[in-house]
Amino acid sequence: MATPVFEEVEPAGDCDCPGCVEGRRVSPRRSSGRPGGRPAACGIVVMAAASAVLGAVAPAAAVSPGRPAGQRPHVPADGETETPQGGRSPLHGAAGKPAELSAVPIPATTRADIIKRAKVWVAAQVPYSMSDYWSDGYRQDCSGYVSMAWNLGSNEWTGSLDQFGVKITKEELQPGDMLLYHNPDNPEKGSHVVIFGGWTDSAHTTYTVYEQTPPHTRSQPTPYPYWSNTDKYVPYRYKGVTAETAGAQRADGKAGKAGKAGVPGRPASHGVPGYPGRGLFRPGAENAYVAQLGRRLVEKGFGRFYATDPGPRWSEADRRAVEAFQRAQGWRGGAADGYPGPETWRRLFADADPGHESGR
């Protein structure tokens, strides 16, 4: 039997396996036959043996090239957690002014401003840290990053950020929303949160992510919902998100067109305003979309539920009017609960497509 021959091949400089990560940490030094002291664990090893002895052996499966190196998720070295994060804390941490974290306000912001703030850290390549705070006062970990993008008055963590948002569906995602994975059994192992920046394909399988992850803040195309724990991420919409003003910058940075006067979010080019999200139509909600919804229900013939003109505060009259409209579409049960979803909104502001029969 022929002696196997091993050949070590120098790996790519951006390899992030544990061996190469450790190799880059140590000072360069020469070791026996290996310049720079790079560990041998990561070289590509090729073995040749006499086929007459081993027989016809099927070739080993080739290593899948996978995603480009620049798009691979962070792979922690031995002993590291994936995205360690600090707990709730005031801005600037212990160095900042004491804050009452039990009642943190929810400041209003726009989607364009959320993405604008997210891009600031990307441009600065803010280093990842669970204990350091950037100059703006936010902790340099994943949850601190989302707290900053949403302009919260404190540093939250993956166990509290959901209190500042409302759950939405994948179809409702818009730039500035977040995808949250919180592991309550071991929050520092696997828990992560990112900002959704918009779909990159028509099939909605890939999106632009804004995230704080080792070694620093980044933005890149990412498979939905994330590289790992694909059944754990939940989409949320920030409760304080407001409609863009006329002529404001859109979340993608391009100038938006002025909407029709008195109707927030209605594009000038067509008659169906973009669906703003379920969280704006709930008890206690007060915003321009509620008034817009009420006026449209009156126009559609469901004004009998209103004792006065529809206003911006969500009421039982709004819910009953929406329920009546949903039942008029032939929907029953949970599909006619009185809370407008994307399909209710579409049919309410445009003639229904006879071939489209999905509820809500």
Please write the tens of the pLDDT for every residue from 155-179: 999 999 999 999 999 999 999 999 9
Rounded Cα distance between 73 and 67, Å, is: 10
Nearest to 178 by CA among 156, 196, 205, 161: 196
Please write the tens of the pLDDT for every residue from 9-33: 455 555 555 555 555 554 444 444 4
Cβ neighbours around 97 below 10 Å, total: 8
Q: DSSP string of 120-131?
A: HHHHHTPBP-SS
Helical segments of 27-152, H only: 51-54, 111-124, 142-149
Q: Helices 342-349 and 288-299: crossing angle, nearest 10°?
A: 50
Please write the tens of the pLDDT for every residue from 218-266: 999 999 999 988 999 999 999 988 875 433 344 444 444 433 333 333 3
Instruction: Give the CB-side neighbour count of residue 92, counting CA atoms within 13 A.
Output: 7
Cβ neighbours around 20 below 10 Å, total: 21
Rounded percentage of the chain residues whose pLDDT exceeds 70: 62
The DSSP symbol for 34 reads B
pLDDT of amino acid 83: 67
Structural domains in the chain plus CATH codes: 1-50 (no CATH), 93-241 (3.90.1720.10), 273-360 (1.10.101)
Q: Read off the pTM.
A: 0.51
CA dihedral sign, ordered 194, 138, 76, 220:
positive
